[in-house]
A and B are shown apart, each in its own frame.
Chain A
Amino acid sequence: MVSRRVFVKSGGLALVSFGLDPLFLARAAFASPAPGHAPSGPILVCLFQRGAVDGLNMIVPHGDRIYYEERPRIAVPATDVIDLDGYFGLHPSLAPLKPLWDDKTLAVIHAAGSPDSSRSHFDAQDYMETGTPGSKTTPDGWLNRYCQHDREHADTPFHAVAFGPELPRILAGSAPALAIDDLQAFGLRAAGAGARDKVTRAFEALYQGGSTGLVASSSQEGFEAVRMLSGIDPASYTPANGASYPAGKLGRSLKEIAQLIKADLGLRVAFADVTGWDTHVNQGASEGQLAARLTDFAGSLAAFMRDLGDRRGDVVLLTMSEFGRTIRENGSSGTDHGHATAMLVLGGAVNGGKVLGRWPGLDPAQRFEGRDVAVTTDFRDLFGEVLARHLGAANLPAVFPGFAPDQARFPGAIRA
């Protein structure tokens, strides 16, 4: 196993003799705040749409009569679709993303998904997070495995961050990763700054010299993370360029990710998820349930990219969902669990303005098991391309065991 703890940034502290104030010394080491803590480099933000998003109503094949035949009640009318290339178009709620398409920082990979045929949310999310479709016992997630093999940058507690109360499967594993539910509340809690400093200092002294091994290095990382955050003051953050994040959880997560990126704390991979895509009943067409979710989704993504400004060049945001939904609407004006869906890639490095991947078509003969959009892009080829071409990952076979990544199959999401 890769050594879990490559990070001991202020390793010199271990030599400090007893009686000196380690917090003081560490503060001195970080006396120059904000930019420059860590060199900026490529960053990957993964966004999981949990519940299986209906790719066909998100990126609409409005040029296909079968789409309208199969969805008499829930198809998005061609007059409402925001056309992209004459055949595909955006759901009207995704209008905030159109400028990104136009400046070629947004690409769509349609008919992407898992080679495994499971239509269980539970199994399919698990497979997409472990990166090993069909195998349920993989202990770690593919983003964590990427971090395990990316030794070069593993020198900050903010290397890999998931926004949520617990570390998701995708980041579970031996590489250190932080789960942050709320950036402002991260660290020790106490009434008032003085009390907070005191309890932080006390615990740091307890762990420094009172613990060994993993507990010692992890706690040191934690105290360092607290210090780094106190330098950027998350509470007073104002998004740049007039960006306005929607009020929901996704908007908050992306806003906090933007803060971390701009604070140069060494963020390399970030993860957030967003729920509400399991539209079995009355999913709506141009308006309705799915439209409302897409409004929040597009508003959050657009605000994030706007807020990033120039830093968009460093960042790629990748969306994923465990599977797509049936081509034909069901008896409740909704859609059931299907197979392939559409995934989005946004950012300065993206080969944008294109719908990528081979489109299998909606004709019954071309469907998976006679009913669903077939998968023509294995999600590992897309994720692998982003890791290799954006983050510079050198060891894809270790990230996706049992899979032979092949550049020839990369969908072409990242500019060469």
Chain B
Amino acid sequence: MKLFPLIGALALVARTAPAQGPATLTPRDSSLHALNRLAYGPRPGEVERVAGMGVLNWIDAQLQPDRIPDPVLAAKERAFPLLRMSRQDLADAYTAAQRARRARLADSMSRTAASPADPDPAAMTPEVRQARRLAGELQEVAVVRAALSERQLEEVMVDFWTNHFNVSLTKGADRFLLPDYVEHVIRPHALGKFRDLLIATARSPAMMFYLDNWESVAPGSEPPRGGGRRGAGGKAQPQGINENYARELLELHTLGVDGGYTQEDVINVARILTGWGITPPRQGADFAYRDWAHDRGAKVVMGVPYPAGGGEDEGRSLLSWLASQHATMHHVSRQLCARFVADDPPDGCVDDAVAAWERSDGDIREILRAIFHGPDFWAPANLNNKVKTPLEFLVSAVRAVSADPDSTPRLAQVVARLGEPLYQHVAPDGYPERQDDWVTSGALLARMNAAVAIAAGRLPGVTVDLDSVVPPTPDPDTLLDRINARVLGGAMSAHTRSVIRDELADLRDPAARRGFAVGLALGGPDFQKQ
């Protein structure tokens, strides 16, 4: 019987022996593995479904998300007004919040003392409340999509690129720029060409504000009369270049810290990108190239000359050049392999990804295909060798019991309490991928509490119907068989089984036993791994 009909075609893609592919695993194991890595874990029955259609067929389908219907999510998304707001709507909300904040503070003249319990008198204006609500919606939408979307790989990749090109909600106006960034900069390119994604992020107001490029101007340049921008917080007119974005562009987004560039290159990249700015919020907070701020002198970046007199275009050609450098391919491929294969990515995975990058001119879909078809992805040592991030843990638990998220920000707040407040990573490197950064004693206890709560049906922000997943049953062995198959995707260890069985002994009520057992299964060590 041929379980994997694509295996023949695979040999054309994978550089190494196809015998190392999923064929060495049982169909159930390979399906669970794929669902753990390309998706946020299996829903009840999904391991069998993927095994039934062939795991490689399922992977191929996930690589073409546009062809996957997603009606349940589409219906759910209608509960989020944020998704219907244009960039101008968001800019208007920002201006309103700013205006309200100033007015409220001025009004506090009459108050002799703000009470310590209410340290920020601006905190409660309706406009500021709206701003908070929008931020909450943005975070919740991400969790809901991760939980419900049929296009799981696309959601995983949106999360991956959102971290790779991190922008933080905590930085002032970025609260209003991020929804557009995630929706119209990251998402459309998540499985597209890396070059397009890079250029889109470079031109995005969110990134330009986050890493200060909007303030980077040629030394001595002056805005034309009437066309000037006012800095925030009483800041003076920007003087000269700001290297912040240029440095992170090279270090984090493209070449990597060992990519061979010098401080002089950082300065010249910053000079090339002078004039890339943002229109004022009243005019939509959109990308604007301001020629008056551009440094028109000659520059050299890593040996590549940019002759004097260049304008906006030299930035574009610089970004295209960066996107095709070997150091960039290697740096980004390593991160992809760390996400999908192992915290310390195997060289073979990275080599396969780089080769696919070269072949396909940086087509992310083809790079991923090479990783998923490579031997390292399926190596037994790389199964269950990664600890879930807080987002992965919570979303996989929601999926494991088919919980239905509501449209309040409460589920996203649980993710935050577990240590990963979405879009709030302050530093430009984004949330880490390594287990060392997530596994702490407090974090594990918090996961156990969340697991018990979801099994008991009292996790905020979701409705759980455990009866439809694991009906209560008086026999502990039947119960554990069902939990293993339906909730853990077959990953329950003998140790877990034996401990839970012992713990059930003094519980009489079948529903209580069932809830307790599911809570232990989700909060236990087996479910922390993927």
| Residue ranges of A at the interface with B (Cβ–Cβ < 8 Å) | 4, 119-120, 122, 126, 136-139, 157, 165-167, 169, 172, 174, 176-180, 186-190, 198-199, 201-203, 205-207, 209-211, 214-216, 218-222, 225-226, 246-248, 275-276, 280-282, 284, 287-289, 291-293, 295-296, 326, 330, 332-334, 336-337
Contact with A along B100-118 (1 / 0, CB 8 A): 0010011011011111110
Nearest CB of chain A from residue B426's CB, rounded to whole Å: 6
Closest 3 CB pairs of A and B: A276-B119, A222-B441, A281-B105
> In the complex the two chains form, is B452's CB within 8 Å of A293's CB?
no
Q: Does B234 contact A (CB under 8 A)?
A: yes
- B170 at interface by CB-CB < 8 Å: yes
Q: Are A122 and B105 in contact (CB under 8 A)?
A: no
- Between A and B, 11 residue pairs with Cβ closer than 8 Å are A122-B172, A137-B248, A165-B417, A167-B419, A188-B448, A188-B449, A202-B500, A216-B525, A248-B119, A288-B112, A295-B113
> Nearest Cβ distance between residue A160 and chain B, in whole angstroms?
11
Residue contact B496 to A206, C-beta cutoff 8 Å: yes
- Chain A residues whose CB sits within 8 angstroms of the CB of B493 once the complex forms: 210
Contact between chains at B116 and A246 (CB < 8 Å): yes
Say whether B6 faces chain A, with CB atoms less than 8 Å apart: no
Asked if B116 and A296 sit within 8 Å, CB to CB, the answer is yes
Partner of A332, one of B105, B448, B452, B520: B105
Is residue B528 contacting chain A, with contact meaning CB distance below 8 A? yes
A215 close to B113 (CB less than 8 A)? no
Q: Does any Cβ of A come within 8 Å of B251's Cβ?
A: yes
Is there an interface contact between B119 and A282, defined as CB atoms closer than 8 Å? no
Beyond A139-B427, A206-B499, list 15 extra A-B contacts (CB 8 Å).
A119-B233, A122-B168, A136-B248, A137-B428, A166-B421, A167-B419, A189-B452, A198-B503, A210-B495, A210-B525, A210-B526, A215-B525, A248-B117, A276-B114, A292-B116
B416 x A203 contact (CB < 8 A):
no
Give CA–CA (A333, B427) in the complex, Å: 33
Choice from B111, B417, B441 contacting A178 with Cβ under 8 Å: B441
Q: Is the interface of A mostly helix, strand, loop or mixed?
A: loop
Give the number of residues in B that approach A within 8 Å (Cβ atoms). 68
In chain A, what residue has the closest Cβ to B231?
A119
Q: List which B494-530 residues lie within 8 A (CB) of chain A.
A: 495-496, 499-500, 502-503, 516, 519-520, 523-526, 528-529
Partner of A202, one of B115, B429, B499: B499
**A190 contact set on B, CB distance < 8 A:** 452
Closest Cβ neighbor of B257 among chain A residues: A137
Inside 8 A of A292's CB, which chain B residues have their CB? 113-116
Contacts of A201 in B (CB 8 A): 503
Residue from the list B172, B416, B439, B449 in contact with A189, Cβ < 8 A: B449
Please judge, given known A-B contacts A210-B524, A282-B105, whether A169 and B116 are in contact too, CB under 8 Å: no
A177 touches B440 (CB 8 A): yes
Q: Which residues of B contact A280 (CB under 8 A)?
A: 105, 233-234
Interface residue from B108, B121, B441, B516 paired with A219 (Cβ < 8 Å): B441
Q: Which residues of B contact A (CB under 8 A)?
A: 102, 105-106, 108-109, 111-117, 119-121, 168, 170-172, 233-235, 244, 247-248, 251-252, 257, 387, 416-417, 419, 421, 426-429, 432, 435-437, 439-445, 448-449, 452-453, 493, 495-496, 499-500, 502-503, 516, 519-520, 523-526, 528-529
Instruction: Tell me which of A136, A177, A187, A336 has the highest count of chain B C-beta atoms within 10 A of its own C-beta.
Output: A136
With A190-B452, A215-B525 known as contacts, the answer to whether A126 contacts B233 (CB < 8 A) is no
In the bound complex, do residue B113 and residue A210 qualify as a contact, i.e. CB atoms below 8 Å apart?
no
B419 touches A166 (CB 8 A): yes
Find out whether the CB atom of B109 lies under 8 angstroms from the CB atom of A282.
Answer: yes
* B108, B234, B437, B526 interface centre (most CB from chain A within 10 Å): B234
| Shortest CB distance A406–B (Å) | 25
Q: Which residues of A contact B252 (CB under 8 A)?
A: 137
Give the Cβ gap from A234 to chain B, nearest Cβ, in Å: 15
Check A136 against B428 for contact (C-beta < 8 Å).
yes
CB distance from B54 to the nearest CB of A (A): 32
Q: How far is the CA of A295 from the CA of B112 in the complex (A)?
A: 13
List the B side residues contacting A284 at CB < 8 Å. 112-113
| Contact, CB under 8 Å: A291 / B520 | no
- Answer whether A203 and B115 are a contact pair too, CB < 8 Å, given A176-B441, A214-B439: no
**CB pair B503 A222 closer than 8 Å:** no
State how many angstroms separate the Cβ of B116 from the closest Cβ of chain A: 4
CA A172 to CA B109, docked complex, whole Å: 40
Rounded to whole angstroms, the CA-CA distance of A326 and B236 in the bound complex is 13
Instruction: For residue A179, give the distance in angstroms from its CB to the closest CB of chain B.
Output: 5
CA distance A167 to B431 in the complex (A): 13
Judge whether B248 and A295 touch: CB under 8 Å: no
Q: How far is the CA of A117 from the CA of B167 in the complex (A)?
A: 22
Chain B residue nearest to A129 in the complex (CB): B426
**B235: shortest Cβ distance to chain A, in Å?**
7
**Which B residue's beta carbon lies closest to that of A201?**
B503
A137-B428, A198-B503 known; A214 vs B251 contact (CB < 8 Å)? no
List the B residue with the shortest CB-CB distance to A130: B427
Q: For the complex, what is the distance from the CA of A287 to the CA of B520, rounded to whole Å? A: 54
The interface centre, meaning the residue of A176, A199, A221, A330 with most chain B CB atoms within 10 A of its CB, is A199
Q: Which of B119, B248, B426 contacts A122 (CB 8 A)?
A: B426
Contacts of A225 in B (CB 8 A): 441-442
CB pair A178–B108 under 8 Å, yes or no, is no
For the complex, give the distance between the alpha carbons of A180 and B437 in Å.
17
A175 smallest CB distance to B (angstroms)? 10
- When C-beta atoms are compared, the residue in chain B nearest to A181 turns out to be B417
- In the bound assembly, the distance between CA atoms of A169 and B440 in angstroms comes to 15
From B105, B445, B496, A210 is in contact (CB under 8 Å) with: B496
The residue of chain B having its C-beta at the shortest distance from the C-beta of A212 within the complex is B525
**Bound-state Cα–Cα, A176 to B525, Å:** 19
The distance in angstroms between the C-alpha atoms of A153 and B112, with both chains bound, is 47
Is B442 in contact with A178, judged by CB distance below 8 angstroms?
Answer: yes
Which of B106, B117, B445 is the most central at the interface, judged by chain A CB atoms within 10 Å of its CB?
B445
Asked if residues A289 and B427 are in contact (CB atoms below 8 Å), the reply is no
Decide if B105 touches A203 in the complex (CB within 8 Å): no
Q: Nearest-CB distance from A266 to chain B (Å)?
A: 14
User: Is B121 touching A289 in the complex (CB atoms < 8 A)?
Assistant: yes
**Which of B387, B426, B428, B449 neighbours the largest number of chain A CB atoms within 10 Å of its CB?**
B426
Closest to A246 in B: B116
Chain A residue nearest to B429 in the complex (CB): A137
Q: Are A215 and B171 in contact (CB under 8 A)?
A: no
Contacting pair B520 A202 (CB below 8 A): yes
Min CB gap A276→B, angstroms: 3
CB within 8 Å for A281 and B102 given contacts A215-B387, A222-B441, A225-B441: yes
Known contacts A165-B417, A190-B452, A218 near B444 by CB under 8 Å = yes
Contacts of B503 in A (CB 8 A): 198, 201-202, 205
Minimum CB–CB distance from B125 to chain A (whole Å) comes to: 13
* Cβ-defined contact, A206 with B117, below 8 A: no
A215 to B529, CA, bound (A): 10
Query: Which chain A residues lie closer than 8 Å to B453 at the CB level?
Result: 189
Q: Which residue of B lies closest to A4 (CB)?
A: B436
Q: In the complex, are the beta carbons of A222 and B445 less than 8 A apart?
A: yes
Most interface-central of B116, B387, B427, B495 (chain A CB within 10 A): B116
A210 and B500 alpha carbons, distance in the complex (Å): 12
Provide the bound-state CA to CA distance between A215 and B121, in Å.
43
Question: Contact at A295–B116, with CB atoms within 8 Å?
Answer: yes
By a CB distance below 8 angstroms, the chain B residues around A198 are: 503
Residues of B within 8 Å of A178, CB to CB, are 440-442
Q: Which of A165, A187, A207, A296 is the one whose CB lies under 8 Å from B525?
A: A207
* A222 and B442 contacting across the interface, CB-CB below 8 Å: yes
Write the nearest CB–CB distance from A284 to chain B, whole angstroms.
Answer: 8
CB-CB under 8 A from A333, the residues of chain B are 109
